[in-house]
Structure 1
Amino acid sequence: MRAALVVLTLATPAAAAPCGGDFGTFLAAMQAEAVAAGVPADKAGEFFTGARIDQKVLKADRSQGVFRKTFLDFSQSLISKQRLATAKSRSESLNTIFDQAEAEYGVSRGILLAFWAFETDFGQVQGNFNTRNALLTLAHDCRRPELFQPQVLAAAQLHALDEFDLDTTGAWAGEIGMVQMLPKDILERGVDGDGDGLILLKSSEADAILSGARMLQHHGWRAGQPWLAEVTLPGDFDWSLSGLETERVTEDWAALGVAPRNGPLAPGLAASILLPQGRKGPAFLAYPNYRTLFEWNKSFVYVTTAAYFATRIEGAIPYAAGGPDPALSPEEMTALQEKLAALGHEVGQIDGILGAGTRKAVQKEQLRLGLPADGWPTRDLLDAL
């Protein structure tokens, strides 16, 4: 039964119920799509009956202030001696499962432990939003219906498999379980790690860990390769070479004076120099596996912090924090984005958050103005513009 439903999910076109408008009409359209996708009519009826819009979900979707934190602030708030000790304890107590994750999917335990820690504090805080209502709220909202309507269909199919109760709770954006996966990922890449015939990421550590590993493998994780390494850079380094847009093999970086702080650089791998807070802060070499982590979370600061924490779990020393230039305030960042957009740069949404588009635009303007082109926005840059 499960295999048949998964096949139907993969073959079904993206959901296209009209966003906005009457919610009851929207529910009826989504229910019809669920039946067309292979959900038995009675199960589809159960799933959609009684659903409602959750205004708290919409509020959370529009106020993601945590992403305004700098890398140093965010990492220091999430990484503690206690959390590191807990990660190592869980690594030991679930050693067989983590060995299986690496043997079957090639994913290092450090990465899985880091996301488990950050997403739910090792399963202790999984979110209290009703998942069905959260998904339907975001699917009905016209901001990102193309992302959430397929997730509604996947949740309905999980319900038909007895793997999604209507009172299931999780994060405001519909992620479920200890490692916070969306329903479509669970349906298509979930793993029954404990052999009970069900995939239950809320209650089964084995299911959650192995499902997370399989998801990363699906998105391109390379077995046996590193993801992030802290490095030191020479004072005369060409800062315009930093950023994810520039890749060179490690031997070329070494020739430019890039040196590791923890063990040797991985030979022959393409990598990028990351300066989360510019040339005066920590510096990292990001390998191809680092990029796959954005399939778990789109935030640069979150992903970099999780990747760094994973290296700490596996024995790396603490980063050299340095003394970065002060971060711009949200108001200053918004003003900077407006100036960059007026100059023709694609900065994405003007929201006061330092995202990938803004970093890239900042670096280009720094280079044009003769400032150190490290991608870190400063008040000097804002004044110069």
Structure 2
Amino acid sequence: MKKLFLPAVLALSTSASTAVAFGGSFATFVEGLKSEAVANGIAPEVASAFFAGVRQDQSVLKADRRQGVFQLPFVHFARRLISNDRINRGRANAEKYDTVFDRIEQSYGVDRGVLLAFWAFETDYGTYQGDFNTANALVTLAHDCRRPELFRPQVLAAVELFEKGQFDPRTTTGAWAGEIGMVQMLPRDILENGVDADGDGKVSLKTSTPDALMSGGKMLQDLGWRAGEPWLDEVTLPADFDWSLTGLETIKTIAEWRALGVKPRNGPLTDGLAASVLLPQGHKGPAFIAYPNFRVYFDWNQSFTYVMTAAYFATRLQGAKVFDAGTPEPGLDGGQMKVLQTRLQARGHDVGGIDGILGAGMRAAVRAEQARLGLPVDGWPTPTLLSLL
């Protein structure tokens, strides 16, 4: 299966070394990386061996700029990625690796549905892990002027893995953004969270399902996953609900939401937790309540559409019903979305770039303009909003 979405872009820690100049000649840039690796304690001969033959990969840059699937609204995106076959295979894998998932739940507190959903979306349960040379991809993206601070530390982490015998710059392959293995982890995360779950003395995320799943569970725990707590529930809202209270910016207790008329659609809500009400396609579309664990998803992938879909799929794999799609108002196509972003930017809003993708910054800008114009403040951009601007 061809991968349909942006590979996971994790929250990365950076050090002062990431301030080293980027761009310019690719060969000069590689020499700078080599020097930095040596300065960090890597043996010169190891650094030279790693970077020998590393080349710039234009196909990586093309993939980085080709993100049209994120212009799909949640309902369409979810229907595209979630099929009966994927659900059935997910449940079969849950049974097949039951003892592994038991270990993950006991050790890291991450429910099996959560990891099954990532496993499905990232590599279709390991069947398509990407065929980009990982070293080339990471160095290419580190050299690229758009996000060097994200990828330079990952190159240096890959050198560390190479020194440990866990990475071959000539043969290691994965996603275009440098992730490796069944659940697509970046080198720094492999160093920090890789687990030898099958006991063979190696962390093999490409070929060992136990290693891959246990490492993914450990990484989620490291990112702040709270054991034994839910992440997402579908809800119904009263017709007179105050739509301006929706969105990740508003957090209330379950008791407070219940008093405002929020009701579960699949079972009881979890008391004692703070949560936000989310409308991925406006006040006429599906509605969800998101608990603290939902926010951890954004450290795995920064796309709101991906996060909503992965979190929802995890609930389906654990028995939730198909969401009620409702009758959402028509959204905007990619070209219209770029026009709206341009107009919002002209009004002083930070929309995160003119890319046609409905990200968190754009949702906040839409909500601000909806409030100003007297429209339902639900964060969903419509042709009506575009025409009024």
**TM class, shorter-chain normalised?**
over 0.9
Residue 311 of structure 1: aligned partner: 315
Residue 120 of structure 1: aligned partner: 123
Q: Is the 8 A contact 1:346 1:358 kept in 2?
A: yes
Where structure 1 has 5 or more consecutive residues not aligned to the other structure, the ranges are 1-9
CA distance in 1 between counterparts of 2:87 and 2:386 reads 38
Matched, 1:100 2:103: yes
Within a 5 Å distance, the mapping from 1:51-200 to structure 2 comes to 51-166=54-169, 167-200=171-204
Residue 50 of structure 1: aligned partner: 53
CA distance in 2 between counterparts of 1:45 and 1:275 reads 51
Q: How much has 1:352 moved relative to structure 2?
A: 1.2
> 1:190 is aligned with what amino acid?
G
Residue 224 of structure 1: aligned partner: 228
SS for the counterpart of 2:151 is helix
SS for the counterpart of 1:47 is helix
CA distance in 2 between counterparts of 1:232 and 1:110 reads 23
Q: Which moved more, 1:347-356 or 1:111-120?
A: 347-356
Higher relative contact order (CA 8 A, sep 6+): 2
CA distance in 2 between counterparts of 1:226 and 1:337 reads 34
> 1:102 is aligned with what amino acid?
E
Matched, 1:239 2:246: no
Matched, 1:15 2:18: yes
Within a 5 Å distance, the mapping from 1:194-343 to structure 2 comes to 194-343=198-347
> 1:27 is aligned with what amino acid?
V
TM-score by length of 2: 0.95
Matched, 1:378 2:366: no
CA distance in 1 between counterparts of 2:22 and 2:163 reads 24
SS for the counterpart of 1:187 is helix
C-alpha deviations, 1:124-151, integer Å up to 9, x for none? Answer: 0000110000000001111111111100
Q: Which moved more, 1:259-268 or 1:32-41?
A: 32-41
> 1:222 is aligned with what amino acid?
R
SS for the counterpart of 1:15 is helix
Q: How much has 1:11 moved relative to structure 2?
A: 10
Q: How much has 1:86 moved relative to structure 2?
A: 0.4
CA distance in 1 between counterparts of 2:15 and 2:279 reads 42
C-alpha deviations, 1:156-206, integer Å up to 9, x for none? Answer: 110111111221111100011000011000011111111111111111111
Q: Is the 8 A contact 1:12 1:37 kept in 2?
A: no
CA distance in 2 between counterparts of 1:57 and 1:163 reads 23
CA distance in 2 between counterparts of 1:304 and 1:153 reads 32
Q: Is the 8 A contact 2:303 2:359 kept in 1?
A: yes
CA distance in 2 between counterparts of 1:250 and 1:309 reads 22
Q: Is the 8 A contact 1:14 1:146 kept in 2?
A: no
Classify 1:246/1:49 alpha carbon distance in 2 versus 1 (closer, same or farther; 3 Å). Answer: same
CA distance in 2 between counterparts of 1:17 and 1:365 reads 40
Q: Number of paired residues? A: 376
> 2:217 is aligned with what amino acid?
A
CA distance in 2 between counterparts of 1:118 and 1:238 reads 34
Residue 363 of structure 2: aligned partner: 359
Residue 5 of structure 2: aligned partner: none
Q: Is the 8 A contact 1:328 1:379 kept in 2?
A: yes
SS for the counterpart of 1:229 is strand
SS for the counterpart of 2:18 is coil
> 1:19 is aligned with what amino acid?
F
